[in-house]
Structure 1
Amino acid sequence: MSFRTLFCLLILIVHTGIAGAQSLSGDSLVLAPVFTDHMVLQRNKPVQIYGRARAGETVRVRLQGINREAAADREGKWKVVFPAQKAGGPYELTVSGRHSKVVLNDILIGDVWLCSGQSNMDFQLKNAATGSEELKKGSFNQRLRLLKCGGSVPWGDVSWDSATLARVNRFEFFKGEWKIPDASSAAAFSAVAYYFGQKIAAEENVPIGLIQVAVGGSPTESWIDKKVLARDGRFAEMLADWQHSEQVMAWCRERAGVNTKHAQSPDQRHPFKPGYNYEAGIAPLNDFPVAGIIWYQGESNVHNVALHEALFETLVKSWRQSRGNALPFYYVQLSGIERPNWPEFRDSQRKMLGKIAHSGLAVSYDLGDSLDVHPVRKKEVGERLALLALQGYYGKPVVANGPVIRKASLRSDGILLDFTSAQRLLTPDNQPLTGFELLTKSGRRLPAQAVIWNNRVRIPVPAGEAIETVLYAYRPFTRANLYNEAGLPAATFSISVH
């Protein structure tokens, strides 16, 4: 045998060995990424454990003394289902295949909440107004667990290299593992989600798991299954050519253009592209049961209020359908900032409560910053979301909403506004009531001298004016100050006068 022939044979053997090793590694037993040490599994719902293995391989799973097994299908996917469990832990989960074994430790069973949206949900605890104080305490609830599915690519106003572009195209955008809260893990976690979970855990005294899947700047359409969008003609334009569609906010298109500047393919993916974040971040969690969802998003859709209404209703409906139940969905009404369309958008968010069952709205305009789209008072936002969950999901007798407008009646002495969710209407420190305006039938907008009277709001009508609508907190940045006895503000609203 010649030296050249021997050399080629050795190369072939080495190459075959490497390929075999890669195949073995690719087909070996693995759990879905959501399953790691320190995780929380949803109580009172069937527990689903799933992953991949060699096609046809039998996978055995053991949890709390109960055994289940399943054979991997032709694609290597497997899943087992355990009976619903009560809150408790810590437990051990053992998953065994033909040649390998995975053991997960410190598993709790409690309530899991999916926390999603854009930058204000992604806003880190360490940057919140109360973040430093919270972290300095050094006392963290060990039954609160955090899974931050963070972006795995460089973010911001940068152009991605070829390797990053390829990862994005493979939907390898999110990654993370469950962590016990400490000064490091809590600091980098969503401030809104952290304060939400902290309050729920304290009130319910059960383990709470928080899964953060949020992308700064992301528009609503990026969080909806592309197949769902394609079935609705209202979204055809953005699907046809999203980077040139006025249905997509200009800022989103510009940032995506910078990120994908070096892309070679016209089909380059991006987390602002319709459907991307759903496929990369939400769909992989659809088989992982949760108690409900909290949502803080909308800044990247303010440019088209009517379109956002259609998108948001579609998002909630499709997420619920993919999970097979009407999960509670609690969301944040955008804050106050000096930008156009924000009052109309906030009012639209309020009106969506009438279209979406099992939902709730946390008001935040009173916590806003006139110049910064990322206000730092996140504790109040998280705790207001928690109140909605405590009342709506947990059935606690708490006040979860500020004054809710019921009707506006024209009387001889002016316009009287009636509210629900207000045993007592008030303003902080008994300050004069502000934030009300009147809209005439001719379209003129007039300031209103509103006062609290007999637990109603009374507004005198200027002489000779025909009033059609009452507006409240209807400036982009507002210091409107109507609250109830629980210290919760009334939402931005508009209401016709009768």
Structure 2
Amino acid sequence: MYGITLMSRPSDWEIIQQKEGKGSVFLNGKFSVHPAALEVGVERVIPLVRVMSEDDNMAVIPWTNADHFTYNENFQGEFDVTLDIPAGGPYRIDTGLETKSSTPDLTWVYRGDCVLHIGVGNLFIIAGQSNSAGYSRDFCLDPPSMDVHLYRNRSKWDIASHPMNENTYAETCANEEMGVSGVSPYLAFGKKYAQISNMPVGLVQTSLGGSPMARWNPENGDLYQNMIDKIHETGDRCAGILWYQGCSDTDPEPAKKYFEHFYSFVMAVRKELGYQVPFFTMQLNRQINGMNDDCWGMVRDAQARAAREIPGVSVLTTSNLSLCDDIHNTAHANVALGEKLAKQCAFVLNGLEEYQPPEVIKVERVNEDEKEKFQLEGNRIWLKLTCVHVKNCFLLYSTAGKDSGFTLTDSKGNVEILHIRGNRENKNHLYLELAREVEDEAELSFAWQADPIKHPPVDEVTFLPLLSFYKSHINLTINKEFRLDVK
């Protein structure tokens, strides 16, 4: 073969992780002059490389000499070059061999190998279980886009499309699904984040339906090792890890240790990669007729705690997403979740508008002046919940206490909640009317059961539900104020 033959190169469809708006690409190859040129006579040769926009065939980086090259008396040799390519794409990398003939004024650029459909943008690792792998069996409009590429289980880059966790040509791998997967949240995520960041997105699929935290154990978990291997295969750096998991840990023992196991997982990944990779997590949605309510509450609480206590960990709520069966999000819900996640990534990674779920940070008794100001019945017992990350106010689908999603218990048992209120004048607060006094130390929970409230309070702007929590202690102080004991 004459011209340029590439030996080391990016793969077609590959996304290179950008840093400060550029991505570094290394090319190595060999070259040989066409026999016809040798017959005429050759004075010198130079390996060339350029980067072209596939949208309009304009040069992004014009023909550039290789950084290093050597050749013999027959003008056969090797070369290498490193390119700093600006964020964007899709790009084509061309190579060519400039050959100057010994005949005056005769120069020709011979053919070379090409790299097609590459981009410089942001890589995200998809990890977790079925709602991460994509198990929506129904339909929605979510077509492929040239802005979003996928590193498939066959260890090949491709344009991203559903289903993402399919195993064609992949032989046996750790995250091979037994069944047929469906619509994932992450194609919609990739398209939305590419639009926001003006850079392409690369997705690396490592999830597996039904996988417990034990299989992501850094010491011996096969899914953990598979994920690490995929990260190394795709360049060692990524913009973030997208984690949606926990249903398989809603049994007593793993639920109690969920925070501990997740913390170890995050720390091990960061140690292996050598940088503080961000984690974007989701609180569990629900299981219709699910068991072990307490365990679902413990896992959701651990997921909220992780976002508070582990730097670089974010969380989204999912309790208002619809289901296509007893436990898996619908296709439309997954598209909505993906777009919400893109907005959160834009906030965390790009410093754009805040996009976080509302969270209760304090609980206290409502005083008489506040009752009058906000027209709360004066002879009733009211608690005020102070929240953060509220854009405008809460949207309440019902003011009935049974629909509030909150449960309150003390030494006498359950404290009935009669009503829930919110208003625009005091946007960061929710008010709970109680049927009786709280006698002593109490515990407040929200949206904790396997199948919690269907229509939780949501932020009126973001439509993100309030963050779930479980058995947070409320202590009665001398000044009659309750405070939420945030673990």
TM-score, structure 2 normalization = 0.66
Matches of 2:466 and 2:430, distance apart in 1 = 12
Q: Find the counterpart in structure 2 of residue 342 from structure 1.
A: 296
User: Contact 1:333–1:361 at 8 Å: present in 2 too?
Assistant: yes
Matches of 1:300 and 1:63, distance apart in 2 = 50
Are the structure 2 counterparts of residues 449 and 425 from structure 1 closer, same or farther at C-alpha, using a change threshold of 3 Å?
farther
Q: Note the C-alpha offset of 1:349.
A: 0.7
User: Contact 2:398–2:404 at 8 Å: present in 1 too?
Assistant: no
1:33-90 alpha-carbon deviations (Å, 9 max, x no partner): xx52111111126636699xxxxxxxx99675475689xxxxxxxx997657433440
Matches of 1:342 and 1:445, distance apart in 2 = 19
Provide the secondary structure at the position in 2 that maps to 1:406. Answer: strand
Matches of 2:65 and 2:362, distance apart in 1 = 56
1:279 aligns with 2:225: yes
Q: Find the counterpart in structure 1 of residue 439 from structure 2.
A: 465
User: Contact 2:319–2:456 at 8 Å: present in 1 too?
Assistant: no
Q: Find the counterpart in structure 2 of residue 37 from structure 1.
A: 12
Q: How does 1:325-474 map to 2 (within 5 A)?
A: 325-337=275-287, 338-340=290-292, 341-367=295-321, 369=323, 372-376=326-330, 377-397=333-353, 399-411=354-366, 413-427=381-395, 432=400, 434-440=404-410, 442=411, 444-453=413-422, 454-455=426-427, 456-461=429-434, 462-463=436-437, 465-474=439-448
Are the structure 2 counterparts of residues 288 and 113 from structure 1 closer, same or farther at C-alpha, using a change threshold of 3 Å?
same
User: Contact 2:316–2:356 at 8 Å: present in 1 too?
Assistant: yes
Q: Note the C-alpha offset of 1:177.
A: 2.0
Provide the secondary structure at the position in 2 that maps to 1:365. Answer: coil
Q: Note the C-alpha offset of 1:384.
A: 2.2
Q: Find the counterpart in structure 2 of residue 47 from structure 1.
A: 24
Matches of 1:460 and 1:426, distance apart in 2 = 17
User: Contact 1:450–1:457 at 8 Å: present in 2 too?
Assistant: no
Matches of 1:186 and 1:224, distance apart in 2 = 21
Q: How does 1:8-87 map to 2 (within 5 A)?
A: 35-44=10-19, 47=24, 64=51, 65=64, 67=66, 83=84, 85-87=86-88
Are the structure 2 counterparts of residues 88 and 370 from structure 1 closer, same or farther at C-alpha, using a change threshold of 3 Å?
closer
Q: How does 1:160-171 map to 2 (within 5 A)?
A: none
Query: Larger helix proportion, structure 1 or 2?
Result: 1
1:249-276 alpha-carbon deviations (Å, 9 max, x no partner): xxxxxxxxxxxxxxxxxxxxxxxxx321
Are the structure 2 counterparts of residues 38 and 324 from structure 1 closer, same or farther at C-alpha, using a change threshold of 3 Å?
same
Which amino acid counterpart does residue 147 of structure 2 have in structure 1?
Answer: R
Are the structure 2 counterparts of residues 214 and 396 from structure 1 closer, same or farther at C-alpha, using a change threshold of 3 Å?
same
Matches of 1:61 and 1:428, distance apart in 2 = 64
Matches of 1:365 and 1:289, distance apart in 2 = 32
Are the structure 2 counterparts of residues 197 and 459 from structure 1 closer, same or farther at C-alpha, using a change threshold of 3 Å?
same
Matches of 1:112 and 1:66, distance apart in 2 = 29
Q: Kindly report the root-mean-square deviation, in angstroms, between the aligned alpha carbons of the 2 structures.
A: 3.6
Matches of 2:114 and 2:203, distance apart in 1 = 22
User: Contact 2:162–2:184 at 8 Å: present in 1 too?
Assistant: no
Q: Note the C-alpha offset of 1:31.
A: 6.2
Q: Find the counterpart in structure 1 of residue 101 from structure 2.
A: none
User: Contact 2:152–2:165 at 8 Å: present in 1 too?
Assistant: no
For structure 1, the 5+ residue unaligned runs are 1-28, 52-59, 71-78, 150-174, 227-273
1:206 aligns with 2:180: no
Provide the secondary structure at the position in 2 that maps to 1:366. Answer: coil
Q: Find the counterpart in structure 1 of residue 146 from structure 2.
A: 142
Are the structure 2 counterparts of residues 400 and 124 from structure 1 closer, same or farther at C-alpha, using a change threshold of 3 Å?
same
Are the structure 2 counterparts of residues 94 and 406 from structure 1 closer, same or farther at C-alpha, using a change threshold of 3 Å?
farther
> 227, 248, 260: which is aligned to 1:300?
248
Matches of 1:323 and 1:430, distance apart in 2 = 47
Provide the secondary structure at the position in 2 that maps to 1:121. Answer: helix
Are the structure 2 counterparts of residues 285 and 418 from structure 1 closer, same or farther at C-alpha, using a change threshold of 3 Å?
same
Matches of 1:325 and 1:485, distance apart in 2 = 36
Matches of 1:301 and 1:94, distance apart in 2 = 52
Matches of 2:420 and 2:121, distance apart in 1 = 46
Deviates more, 1:304-313 or 1:365-374: 365-374
> 457, 474, 478: which is aligned to 2:452?
478
1:422-474 alpha-carbon deviations (Å, 9 max, x no partner): 1333335566451111121x272333224224432222341463352221112
User: Contact 1:148–1:176 at 8 Å: present in 2 too?
Assistant: yes
Q: Note the C-alpha offset of 1:389.
A: 0.2
User: Contact 1:93–1:107 at 8 Å: present in 2 too?
Assistant: no
Q: Find the counterpart in structure 1 of residue 208 from structure 2.
A: 215
For structure 2, the 5+ residue unaligned runs are 1-5, 29-46, 52-63, 70-79, 98-111, 167-180, 368-380, 475-481, 483-487
Query: Larger strand proportion, structure 1 or 2?
Result: 2
Are the structure 2 counterparts of residues 380 and 415 from structure 1 closer, same or farther at C-alpha, using a change threshold of 3 Å?
same
Q: Note the C-alpha offset of 1:367.
A: 1.8
Are the structure 2 counterparts of residues 49 and 491 from structure 1 closer, same or farther at C-alpha, using a change threshold of 3 Å?
farther
Q: How does 1:121-200 map to 2 (within 5 A)?
A: 121-124=132-135, 127-128=137-138, 131-135=139-143, 140-149=144-153, 175-181=154-160, 191-200=184-193
Question: Identity across aligned pairs (percent)?
Answer: 21
Matches of 1:111 and 1:445, distance apart in 2 = 49
1:91 aligns with 2:92: yes
Q: Whose Rg is larger?
A: 2
Q: Find the counterpart in structure 2 of residue 112 from structure 1.
A: 123
Provide the secondary structure at the position in 2 that maps to 1:109. Answer: strand
Matches of 2:307 and 2:92, distance apart in 1 = 39
